[in-house]
Amino acid sequence: MKSIFAIGLAATAAATAISSDLYANGDHANHLLTRHDKSETPDKYHKDKDYKDHFDIYAGPESLGGDVVKQFYFNITEVRTNLINGPSRFHYALNDAVYGGEPLVFNEGDEVEFVFDNYAFEETSIHLHGLLQEFSPWADGVPGVTQSVIPQNKRFIYRTRVTDQHGLYWGHSHLRELYGDGQVFSFYVRPASDRPKPFGLLTNSTDEIATLEALNDNPTIIRLSDYTSMPTEEKKVATFEWAFGFLCFDAIIINSVGRQNCPGRDALQALTASNTTTDKGCLNPNVITNSTQEFDADVWFNCNETDTAPPVFEFNYEDGWGVIHFLNHAEHWDMIVSIDEHEVFTFAADGNFHEPLVNDAFIIGVSNRIGVAFRLDKPGEYVMRVAAYQDPQIVSGYAVVRYGMDVSAPVEWTQEPGLPALPPSQPFIDYAGNPVSNATRVMDNLSLRSWPNELVPKAYEAADVTLRLDFNASGTLFWGIAGELYNPLLETSQPPVLTNPDYYLGLNMSIANYPAGSVVDLIHVTAPGNPRHPIHKHFEHVWVLGAGVGSFNYSDTAEAEAAGLPIMWDSPPFRDGWLTLAAPQDEPSWFIVRYEGATAAAVLLHCHILEHQNNGMAFTMLQAQPARGQLPQVPEYYRARANGEELYTPLEFGDADITIPVLIDDFE
């Protein structure tokens, strides 16, 4: 038995780790809700903030060898709004936009700065998701791993050089669950002109290839997410009261616009084998758990239809093709996406080019990006369907794709009960995300092939380092990696791993240590009965070598292959996030990824479902051995600025901060 949360880590009065309140019941939980008095949140900047008198602006970070070609400024503020026309709720905004406005665009090779002015009442830190950070491993934005938090009233600048990668990425708060409240933005890196592009695999016409390249330089960018009217801190409190996960959202939003759809329980029931569907398409928690707590009606049961119109995306018929890059910035649900009557070619995944693969619907895990091209060959309006993918909730969101329309002959949109009026196009998938027929081709995540084709490093051999990072849950709230729960207090209690590695290595918990430059295999074995997880690794992207259902009794990948397990060495998917396989009730599943851990760095690996990540499912890999002096020398700016004027001093703590009940005695 391990008392994982009672190891006496520092929490603080000042930085009152939300998590220390969390794991205490009752009064502490209530304190969370009043801590910032969010009901009083003004429409704009927090009332106590005075930019002139208190705001700290320092000189920016040191050069990374180039000149800054672009600076992007963000004001982090608070707003009350509701993106689905439901009841007003607390959100964060970046430059007044919840989950970001227009995507930022720059070019492969650019040195850029992201400048954050934190006017919000809560500290934060911003992770640039998917960036390799090979020149700036200190700028990864993970509290407790690469930096300490950015306090309110402070400016913090992330300076990075984006080389050897291109495509759609995003930035988001990495503190607690703040990105779920709105601290999200997207950015697109135009591929270098001399980088090979896969469009010649789509068409032999040089004109069309040129058009596709031009479209890919200025693509339509579509952000998808689940959405709920309950802010993340309230959710946190609710889930601990329920002793049950938050498995019911209000809607799916598309570029921050959504509608609560209510097709009715009977219609929903017909789409699922579960016989406990609520009006919101969720599992009825009163049936599936024995919790004696009351489950909030508006969260789980009441479907209150709203009246938002679906967003319309216009394409230019003359182009002959459309190009869209999608991002899923959800808190919880993986998505399946299709455009009625249009096959699409998926050619990019997590930024990286892949061989175009034709399909009618494709899956985007939480945090992932998929780029698609599709022919504009029949002018009109078509429904884009976005459904939660094989999740505990049945829910869809809609948008419209339009091109070459004869405006004098509009087609009438039709409306089914509980759904918005939509063009009458023929679907590939239903409201639950299931194919409407066997003819629907759904992109299989493992059939993507990275492009240009090449063998992975150390193909056909064991990696230099093999890490077993197995997954198992304790109930629906605690999620472990390698038998351990990442302690959320580590985010704010100590100077970060990058400048203080010995402390974390000494804890010997949720951390691995190997030399920079290693070829590393991560082997995940998922315990029987556990769900799929969208795992994300910071820094280098990974090759997905293989996956399957069944036990895994091998010490490395080469041994597994020799025993007959399917391993792909030639051009496997190349991702910064991967969807593991759910394990059936009576059998585990396995999943292997490989990467070249080139950059000396403190690397976080975690499930991107916010609830899982913040309740244990994270793990640090110190990709450098401090004893050998491999850790990068963190520049002065990053050492000092994340905490204001002074270098970080560990925060003091008292007895009250460490009385955290261990809810997880049976977790081992």
Ligand X SMILES: *[C@@H]1O[C@H](CO)[C@@H](O)[C@H](O)[C@H]1NC(C)=O
Residues whose CB is less than 8 angstroms from the CB of residue 269 and which lie 6 or more positions away in sequence, other chains included: 275, 277
**Could you give the dihedral angle defined by the CA atoms of residues 87, 91, 93 and 97, in that order, rounded to the nearest 10 degrees?**
-20
What is the spatial distance between Cα 71 and Cα 256, in angstroms, rounded to a whole number? 24
Query: What residue number has its CB nearest to Cu ion?
Result: 607
Q: Is 404 left (phi over 0), alpha (psi -120 to 50) or beta?
A: left
If binding is defined by CB under 5 A, does position 28 make contact with Cu ion? no
Tell me, residue by residue from 518 to 547, as one string, x for binding to Cu ion by CB under 5 A and - for no binding: ---------------x--------------
What residues from 603 to 632 belong to the interface with Cu ion (CB under 5 A)?
607, 609, 612
Give residue 581's identity as a one-letter amino acid code: L
If binding is defined by CB under 6 A, does position 220 make contact with ligand X? no
Q: How many residues bind ligand X (CB under 6 A)?
A: 31
User: Is 448 or 605 the residue whose CB approaches Cu ion more closely?
Assistant: 605
If binding is defined by CB under 6 A, does position 366 make contact with ligand X? no
What tokens does 634 get?
């963190």
Return the one option of ligand X, Cu ion, none that residue 286 interacts with (CB less than 5 to 8 A, by type). Answer: none
Chain centroid to CA 63: 29
Residues whose CB is less than 8 angstroms from the CB of residue 74 and which lie 6 or more positions away in sequence, other chains included: 94, 95, 114, 115, 116, 117, 185
Residues whose CB is less than 8 angstroms from the CB of residue 596 and which lie 6 or more positions away in sequence, other chains included: 457, 517, 518, 519, 520, 540
Q: Which one of 8, 42, 87, 379 is in contact with ligand X (CB under 6 A)?
A: 87
What tokens does 376 get?
């504009």
If binding is defined by CB under 6 A, does position 298 make contact with ligand X? yes
User: Is 87 or 410 the residue whose CB approaches ligand X more closely?
Assistant: 87
| DSSP secondary structure letter of residue 408 | T
If binding is defined by CB under 6 A, does position 304 make contact with ligand X? yes
Q: What is the 3-state secondary structure (H, E, C) of 71-128?
A: EEEEEEEEEEECCCCCCCEEEEEECCECCCCCCEEEECCCEEEEEEEECCCCCECEEE
Q: Which one of 14, 50, 73, 562 is in contact with ligand X (CB under 6 A)?
A: 73
Distance (Å) of CA 658 to CA 68, 159, 193, 497, 511: 44, 36, 55, 21, 21
Tell me, residue by residue from 476 to 515, as one string, x for binding to Cu ion by CB under 5 A and - for no binding: ----------------------------------------
User: Is 229 or 239 the residue whose CB approaches Cu ion more closely?
Assistant: 239
Tell me, residue by residue from 236 to 275, as one string, x for binding to ligand X by CB under 6 A and - for no binding: ---------------------------------------x
User: Is 171 or 480 the residue whose CB approaches Cu ion more closely?
Assistant: 480
What residues from 134 to 193 belong to the interface with ligand X (CB under 6 A)?
none
If binding is defined by CB under 6 A, does position 426 make contact with ligand X? no
If binding is defined by CB under 6 A, does position 296 make contact with ligand X? no
| DSSP secondary structure letter of residue 6 | G
Tell me, residue by residue from 455 to 494, as one string, x for binding to ligand X by CB under 6 A and - for no binding: -----------------x-x--------------------
User: Shortest gap between Cβ of 579 and ligand X (angstroms)?
Assistant: 4
| DSSP secondary structure letter of residue 199 | G
Q: What is the 3-state secondary structure (H, E, C) of 61-74?
A: CCCCCCCEEEEEEE
Cis? peptide before 495, omega within 30° of 0? no
User: Is 28 or 536 the residue whose CB approaches Cu ion more closely?
Assistant: 536
Residue ranges in contact with Cu ion by CB under 5 A? 533, 607, 609, 612
Residue ranges in contact with ligand X by CB under 6 A? 51, 73, 75, 87, 95, 202-204, 275, 288-290, 298, 302, 304, 363, 437-438, 444-446, 472, 474, 508, 527, 532, 551, 553, 579, 581, 666
